[in-house]
Amino acid sequence: MTLSQSFIQAWQIWINAHHPFYHSRNRRFNAPTYSAELILDHNATHLYSLGLAAIEGKAWNYPQLAREALAEIDHAIEELNECAVGETEKAEIREYISLTRNLLSELIKLKSNHQS
């Protein structure tokens, strides 16, 4: 499997981006954005594994796995939209979501060695 330049660029941007999971990582269960952050935090761990597997050339079904991760992102967006927080806090999370979606769209384009 050959990785595209666009995948490598999306990976580098995402891996170096700020991951806004303050409340999730600090177990602030009552924070308005906690549910959305928890979903995104879990998704980030999964996405990190997917990205490394792709870089290592592992033959996984990246399109399917990325689509499943996108469904989780959609759920996080629903949770975020219901939060009673200011747009500044939401904007930071939305920026992260945008970078994540970009990386997932690159993973969808990948074909592992066992796929036709």
Q: Looking at the predicted structure, is the pLDDT value of residue 112 above 70?
A: no
pTM of the model: 0.89
Q: Looking at the predicted structure, is the pLDDT value of residue 113 above 80?
A: no
Q: What tokens does 67 get?
A: 């689509």
Alpha-carbon distance of 107 to 3, in angstroms, equals 10
At residue 86, the pLDDT reads: 87
- The amino acid occupying position 8 is I
What integer is the mean pLDDT of 8-13?
98
**Interhelix angle for 5-16 vs 34-56, to 10°?**
140
At residue 114, the pLDDT reads: 42
Give the position of tokens 């979501």.
Answer: 97
* Percent share of the chain, pLDDT over 90: 77
At residue 116, the pLDDT reads: 39
